[in-house]
Amino acid sequence: MSRICGNGSFNNCLRDGSTSLPYGKNPCQKDVLPQEFVDDTGDLHFVPAPCQVACPIGTDAPSYLAHIWEGDFEGALEVITATNPLSSICGRVCDAPCEPACRRTDSDGPIAIRNLKRFIMDKLGKNFQPAPLPVTQKETVAIVGGGPTGLTAAQDLAEAGYEVHLYEMTDRLGGLAIWGIPAFRLPVDTVNEDIDRILHYCPGIKVHLNCALGRDVSLDELKERYDAVILAIGAWWGKKM
């Protein structure tokens, strides 16, 4: 008896016994399986690639690899930065769960997805300045923590039109990307490149440095000032041995 395979093979394929259809982009025939059971995207040609499914933020790796293959580096840059505000950082220190999921692992080895991202960001990322976003919402949001989580949340909210106030206890943004990873592994200039791009792209993000929760501002004060508060403080204090 045929059944739908949802999570097992990442591609909403039709499976019969222990044999599954290969990955592909061809629409399923109506007399084989009704469209409503094929996928929930409304697009018969949509098949999420295993590498994209493995990525925690769903980066469309197949698309930017295709742009690189065609020599369209600007197109690759747009795809990479569409879902990843910290693309330059991830080109160096991401553990690349996409690569073990790459279908070429079964043949001659996975594509160097992370290194290709780094290539694009090193080549074009420094001068990439997307058009600034306007603030369109009347509500304001406070984010406590200027590390990768806080920065990503700030950009996501700014893209939705909100004014964001980002509170950081130290004298610079970046969190553990600055304080926890040695510069020979992740240069400070690379971190600043991503941060500068975010702040240029989202002028509605207001940064408050050297402002610690509990010392310079309380949670109750933030709740009173803003319509919503996000705590992105992390857990980076080490334990004593």
Domain of 156, CATH number, reads 3.50.50.60
147 and 87 in a common domain:
no
Is residue 18 domain-resident? no
Given 72, 97, 127, which residue is the final one in a domain? 127
- Which residues constitute the domain of residue 119? 50-127
pLDDT of residue 1: 31
User: Does residue 157 share a domain with residue 117?
Assistant: no
- State the pLDDT at residue 224: 97
Neighbours of 127 (CB within 10 A): 8
pLDDT at residue 36 in the model: 55
pLDDT score recorded for residue 203: 96
CATH number reported for the structural domain that contains residue 113 in this entry: 1.10.1060.10
CB 12 within 8 A of CB 6: yes
pLDDT value for 10: 35
Q: What angle do CA 192, 198, 199 make, to 5 degrees?
A: 90
- Verify that 154 and 123 share a domain, yes or no: no
Same domain, 118 and 145: no
CA-closest candidate to residue 151, choices 87, 69, 228: 87
Same domain, 224 and 144: yes
Of 91, 106, 127, which marks where a domain is finished?
A: 127
CB 37 within 8 A of CB 31: no
Per-residue pLDDT at 227: 98
Do 144 and 225 belong together in one domain?
yes
Q: Does 204 lie in the same domain as 149?
A: yes
Q: Given CA atoms 110, 64, 49, 32 in this order, what sign does their dihedral have?
A: negative
Query: What is the reported pLDDT for 212?
Result: 95
Kindly give the parts of the chain with pLDDT less than 70. Answer: 1-47
pLDDT at 240: 79
Single pTM value for the model = 0.77
| Contacting residues for 177 by C-beta, under 8 A, at least 6 apart | 86, 89, 93, 147, 148, 186, 191
pLDDT tens digits, one per residue of 46-101:
667 899 999 999 999 999 999 999 999 999 999 999 999 999 999 999 999 999 99
Question: Based on the structure, what is the number of domains in the chain?
Answer: 2
| 96 inside domain | yes
